Amino acid sequence: MASACSEDLPISPIDTTSVTESVNSSGSKSLSRSPSNSSIKEDRWPALIISKESRTGVRRVIKSRDPVMIERSNLVNISKLIVKELIETSLKYGRMLDSDSMPLQHFFIVLEHVLRHGLKPKKGLLGPKKELWDILQFVEKYTIEAQDITSSVRDLPTVRTHMGRARAWLRLALMQKKLADYLKILIDHKEDLLSEYFEPDALMMSDEAIVIMGLLVGLNVIDCNLCVKEEDLDCQQGVIDFSLYLRSSNQCSESSEDDLDHDNMTTVLDQKNYIEELNRHLNATVTNLQAKVETLTTTNALMKEDLAIAKNNILSLYDENTNLKKELGLDVNADRIDEGGGGGETGQTKKSETNSEVEELKVQLENERRQRQETEKELSLQISLKAEMEVAMKLLEKDIHEKQDTIVSLRRQLDDIKLINLEMYKKLQECESSLKHKTELITKLEAKTFAMTDTIQKMDEK
């Protein structure tokens, strides 16, 4: 892969243009001194007639460039080429790729180099080693969707090394179509998270990481079917064949035949994408309804508690009322006894005291009645609210059941569409095989006709 060494530095496309310009200028100077070399200038490559001064100038230009910046630009450029090739190959197979696809394997190799660019080495002999898997595990803290793939990668029996777990995590994230979102989360937290693991001039710490994230967004249109358990992810990955991506313009324009079922394939894929989007919206609405049901159940439980407290208050008020009535009856009887046995003045004073106490008790009784009426009103209001909550709960349950039925029907339609897609793909392969067979027969017949014409001409000459 692209690695910057101290002796031989890689040259980016920008450097090659500057080098060729300096070479051309130096070549023109040397040619102007000797007029006999004017014909050589037009036919030969200018690098063959460079003087010693121009070579030193080229070396100075190359050494002036930062090798880390060159390495970053090389990684970004090869990522663009591989993502472009990956999307083009996926269009040939109906936007579906498996683990046998060479551009997909090259993509994972380049992505691994991109994410490991500028990773800090371990501090000392006993210090912990900085691994890519440690960084990817932080994503589940910021999003719930990454918890499933992280836990499944931890439970994989075939993967034992940290690098193998990181490769499995990247493959599962691509199948989940969330690889760009997870990379965006890491880029957003690069100040507090990535700075501990990467060097300041690493690709993930630079602005070029946003370009990589934009390239990964374009891969959401591809459906990847990868079997992570069958791959040996702990071993070193393969080597990239750059001849597939450094093609000329004539080779890039492939002569693709017009497929009869191409329109049907695109419509089926569009229907599949529409059903997946509809399924996502339905899942979101179901989660919202479940949250509403939980809030309603909590409010219902709180209202039941308030109702029980109100009932207890009413019972206590009933007890206080009965006790007050009993005390009032005892006081009246005692006053009557005092009036019969005592004198006139003392009886009148006691009578006035008892009258004031009776009035106070009447006022308390009226207050208690008012409180009782208010509590009864609150009780009736709580009962009506409870009835409304039960009706709303029933409606929500009915809506949830209907949406679950629609989800089941949409999944069945998706399975049917997948079966139709497979049948159409099989028919397409059969048509291609029959077409190849017929073309072979035609070539054989043409050869026979040419042979017969030759024999006829020979016979006519005789």
Distance (Å, whole) CA 394 – CA 246 = 64
Do 155 and 302 lie in one domain? The reply is no
Same domain, 43 and 70: no
Task: Give the length of the chain.
Answer: 462
Number of domains in the chain: 3
Whether the Cβ atoms of residue 103 and residue 241 lie closer than 8 Å to each other: no
- 3 is a domain residue: no
Mean residue pLDDT across the chain: 77
In a domain, 59, yes or no: yes
The DSSP string of 99-142 is TT-HHHHHHHHHHHHHHTTTBPPPSTTTSPPP-HHHHHTTHHHH
Residue 445 is assigned to a structural domain of this protein: no
Q: For position 404, which CATH number holds?
A: 1.10.287
Per-residue pLDDT, 329? 72
Q: Please report the pLDDT score of residue 109 as a whole number.
A: 92
Q: Please check whether residue 442 lies inside any domain of the structure.
A: no
Domain assignment present for 456: no
pLDDT at 335: 54
Give residues with Cβ within 8 angstroms of 403, minimum separation 6: 282, 285, 286, 289
Burial zone of 302 (CB within 10 Å; 0-12 exposed, 13-18 middle, 19+ buried): exposed
For residue 204, the domain's CATH number is: 1.20.58.900
HSE-up of 93 (CA within 13 Å, CB side)?
Answer: 15
Same domain, 88 and 51: no
Coil, helix or strand for 97?
strand
Same domain, 178 and 294: no
Same-domain status, 26 and 105: no
431 within domain boundaries: no
Together in a domain, 413 and 292 = yes
Q: Which domain holds residue 359?
A: 271-424
Per-residue tokens: 268: 């089926």
Band (pLDDT 50/70/90 cuts) for residue 416 is very high
Token pair 């080495």 in the structure block, residue: 121
Does residue 437 belong to any structural domain of this protein? no
Final residue of a structural domain among 26, 43, 65: 65
Separation between Cα atoms, residue 137 and residue 456, nearest integer Å:
79
Q: Flag whether 257 is in a domain.
A: no
Looking at the fold, whether 298 and 200 belong to one and the same domain comes out as: no
230 and 297 assigned to the same domain: no
Give yes or no: residues 347 and 336 share one domain.
yes
40-83 residue pLDDT tens: 333 333 333 333 344 444 444 444 478 889 998 999 999 999 99
Cβ pair 10, 2 in contact under 8 A = yes
pTM for the whole structure: 0.45
CA distance linking residue 76 with residue 257, whole number of Å? 33
- Is residue 129 within 8 A of residue 122, CB to CB? The reply is yes
Is 286 found in the same domain as 231?
Answer: no
Chain centroid to CA 84: 21
CA distance 223 to 309: 58
Contacts for 149 with CB less than 8 Å, ≥ 6 apart: 169, 172, 173, 176
Q: Kindly state whether residues 128 and 169 are assigned to the same domain.
A: yes
φ, ψ dihedrals at 223, nearest 5°: -100, 115
Q: Are residues 234 and 102 in the same domain?
A: yes
Tokens encoding 160: 């034992």
Mean pLDDT of 376-381: 90
